[in-house]
Amino acid sequence: MKKVFDLIDLDCAHCAARMEDGIRALDGVVDVSVNFFTQKLTLEAEDADFDKILKKAVKICRKIEPDCTVVIK
Amino acid sequence: MTQKHKKRLFRILAGALLLLAAFLGDAMLGEHLAMWQTLLLYLPAYLTVGLGVLKRAAQNILHGQVFDENFLMALATLGALLIGFLPTGEAEFAEAVFVMIFYQTGELFESIAVGKSRRSIATLMDIRPDTARVIRENAPVEVSPDAVAVGECIAIYPGERVPLDGTVEEGISELHTAALTGEALPRSVTVGDAVFSGATNGGGTLKVRVTKPYADSTVARILSLVEGAAAKKARSEQFITRFARYYTPFVVISALLLALLPPLFSGAFAAMLPLWLSRALTFLVISCPCALVISVPLSFFGGIGGAARRGILIKGAVHLEQLALADTVVLDKTGTLTKGGFSVTKAVPCGVDAQTLLTLAATAEQQSSHPIAGALSAAVTTELPPLLDTKELPGRGVIAKTAQTTLAVGNLHLMEEVGAVPLAPPEDGTAAHVAQNGCYCGYILIADTLKETAAEALDDLRAAGITRTVMLTGDRENTARHVAAALGIDSWRAELLPADKVLEVERLLSEPRRGTLAFVGDGINDAPVLARADVGIAMGALGSDAAIEAADVVLMDDDPQKIATAVRVARKTLRIVRENIVLTLTVKAAALLCSAVGLLGAWQMPVAIFADVGVSVLAILNAMRTLKK
């Protein structure tokens, strides 16, 4: 499953790259991109664990950039 | 300015007022206060502006990421606050607060500038349709474009954006494709024509049958290409990332050595330590690599966004960099420099007038599927008499009968067969000879014509600094020589099979060169060559899936002048990237040297902050130039 999420207040390109690296290292992640310019997180992961992986991904984002929120629809 | 920016601005102003109050208090009572009491005086101001930085630095250390700019700033200012407690140190409370205010102001400005440039790049690519008006049970319903199924009909009103690819069922209109191809002239569409998502409907209401799901539509593909482009990092970008990884620890260790070694060797360690400690703190502030880390990817993205605006899709920063370094451009002939279809270039009649000659030939060929037949019928506007009988003779031509006459159209062999005496054409190209009832009527020259802008395109390439142009073609040598001469192409190879083109490009690649090699083709049967060249450029890709897949750079229409435009955009972008790298490193190196030997005196902290945040802002503003034409 592949889903796109908006990121609010992602302020630094450097942090975006670090978020991407961090999420990529998670188990079950097929592909991920954190795009600073479009302020979007694209996450592709195994269907069964998607929600669990997403939760971990959000945690990583908050750790790197505490002001940035991932919009989960 | 966002809500967050306003909050930050408020904190800075409050901090500045508290600093002023503390400074006045210090000036009036300073002499009666102990060091720790003065510290308390300044602490509210410091914490108001600096608490966020301290918190962030602490968090990052807990997460195992020690060396970032928050850490550097926290270290530098805490150091300045505490240096007064050393036996020979001078109090620098005001300086510490001032540095924090200056830093936060710079950060705020940087954040606003980055946000602004990010948004202006995002609007460049604002071709995403928000809704589609799908016709269900005879009434239009507004839904999200990805909820429309293939085969459903959508209505598009004047001024609206085409949300999905499809074919026109009803209506006539003009479509503005400027956002897709950079082409200013609108295309007119009518029943049966294909329309591409992302274009804007000009004149009338259209009813369109959807042929592709949204995920495969033109607009979705363009957006995913451009958005994905940032992920394919250029070599200079990778350099910056690697650079930052080793740079920060290196700087922290250097600062430590700068603080400790000179006092150690001076013989009076305690007396000299405060001075060198404050120099080392300045050194830390200057050394922050953010100007590079932000501005280099921003420049590449700006270049890619600006090119997309002109109908040029560059699939990654790495390809933009390769294109910027090109000095050799290899061009395919058919479809790239020429129109890729046959048309009548000349009619040479013999005993009849030219119009009659064309009409006779078109009459005979009207049932043929040969490419020449298409060119002939396109050259005639009058009604043609019906044919009673027609016979195609492979390799020779056509013999056709109307009610009045027998016509033969074909090559010299056919003329001999029907007993006509043909002229031998001196011109280059394919000649169709025409005979009526065995009498020779003349010949018609048919050739693949040059695109109108082909000559200018080659001039533009030379002006853009391409030193060598090579043309490859599967066509005959004669034709190739003529085209190359007309356009001033440096060298050419003719009668090549697709596989030969790969070999030819590999041969060119193996020659010693300074720059890279770009290959331009129409993407139809040259995918292997597109892949082999340093940069593969596919033309006329609107609607052609194979070309978009195979190439590194995709020109959305088939105007060859876009090749030079792409090269210019790429060169400008790379120049700006290099300017930023040189600017940043020079300012930082100069400031580092000055602070290490103590040239800056009381000004060292303000200068240090400028070398950090000020240079970042300059580099970001410079990066924004990539968006301009």
In the predicted structure, residue A53 carries a pLDDT above the cut 80: yes
**pLDDT value of residue B541:** 64
Nearest chain B Cα distance for residue A14, angstroms: 7
Interchain contact B629–A (C-beta under 8 A):
no
Interchain contact A38–B (C-beta under 8 A):
yes
Element (H, E) at B245: helix B235-266
Q: Biggest alpha carbon distance in chain B? A: 126
Instruction: Enter the ipTM.
Output: 0.70
C-alpha distance from residue B385 to each of B99, B379, B441 (Å):
91, 16, 18
Residues B230, A67: C-beta atoms closer than 8 Å? no
Residues A37, B122: C-beta atoms closer than 8 Å? yes
For residues B290 and B251, the answer to whether their CB atoms sit within 8 Å is no
Q: Where are the domains of chain B?
A: 132-224, 313-338+451-572, 339-449
Number of structural domains chain A divides into = 1
- Render B453-497 in DSSP notation, one character per residue: THHHHHHHHHHTT--EEEEE-SS-HHHHHHHHHHHT-SEEE-S--
Among the partner-chain residues A11, A38, A67, the one whose CB lies closest to the CB of B122 is A38
Among the partner-chain residues B59, B118, B121, the one whose CB lies closest to the CB of A66 is B59
Chain B environment of A40 (Cβ under 8 Å): 227
**pLDDT value of residue B573:** 93
Residues B4, A17: C-beta atoms closer than 8 Å? no
Interchain contact B238–A (C-beta under 8 A):
no
- Please tell me the distance from the alpha carbon of residue A14 to that of residue A9, in angstroms, as a whole number: 14
**Per CATH, is B132-224 categorized as 1.10.10.10?**
no
Written as six digits, the tokens of B68 are 């970032």
Torsion sign over Cα B620, B621, B624, B625: negative
To 10 degrees, what angle do helices B454-463 and B561-597 make? 20
* Domain assignment of residue A50, given as a range: 2-70
Chain B environment of A33 (Cβ under 8 Å): 228, 231
Q: Residue A37: give its domain's CATH number.
A: 3.30.70.100
**pLDDT value of residue B524:** 67
Query: CB-based burial of residue B602 (10 Å sphere; 0-12 exposed, 13-18 middle, 19+ buried)?
Result: exposed
For residues A61 and A19, the answer to whether their CB atoms sit within 8 Å is yes
Starting at the edge strand found earlier in the chain, the sheet holding B200-201 runs B187-189, B173-176, B200-201
Q: What is the CATH number of domain B313-338+451-572?
A: 3.40.50.1000
Residues B4, A67: C-beta atoms closer than 8 Å? yes
Count of CB pairs separated by less than 8 Å, A with B: 41
The rounded average pLDDT for each run of 10 residues, N- to C-terminus, in chain B (629 residues) is 83 93 85 82 91 86 73 82 76 82 82 74 71 88 88 90 90 82 77 87 88 85 70 70 74 85 83 80 75 78 82 86 94 84 82 87 82 79 83 83 88 85 76 88 85 91 93 84 90 86 91 89 78 88 68 86 94 93 89 78 75 83 80
**pLDDT value of residue B231:** 61
Active site residues of B: 332
Task: Specify the fold of B339-449.
Answer: Calcium-transporting ATPase, cytoplasmic domain N (3.40.1110)
Residue B196's nearest CA partner among B228, B227, B221 is B221
Interchain contact A67–B (C-beta under 8 A):
yes
Helix (H, G, I), strand (E, B) or coil at B616: helix
Written as six digits, the tokens of B59 are 């968090």
Pairing, β A2-8 against β A40-45: antiparallel
Backbone φ and ψ of B396, nearest 5°: -130, -50
Q: Residue B397: left (phi > 0), alpha (psi -120 to 50), or beta?
A: left
Interchain contact A14–B (C-beta under 8 A):
yes
C-alpha distance from residue B511 to each of B214, B223, B502, B600 (Å):
45, 37, 15, 53
Among the partner-chain residues A12, A17, A38, the one whose CB lies closest to the CB of B227 is A38
- Please tell me the distance from the alpha carbon of residue A8 to that of residue A5, in angstroms, as a whole number: 10
Q: Which of residues 270-299 of B touch A (CB under 8 A)?
A: 290, 293-294, 297-298
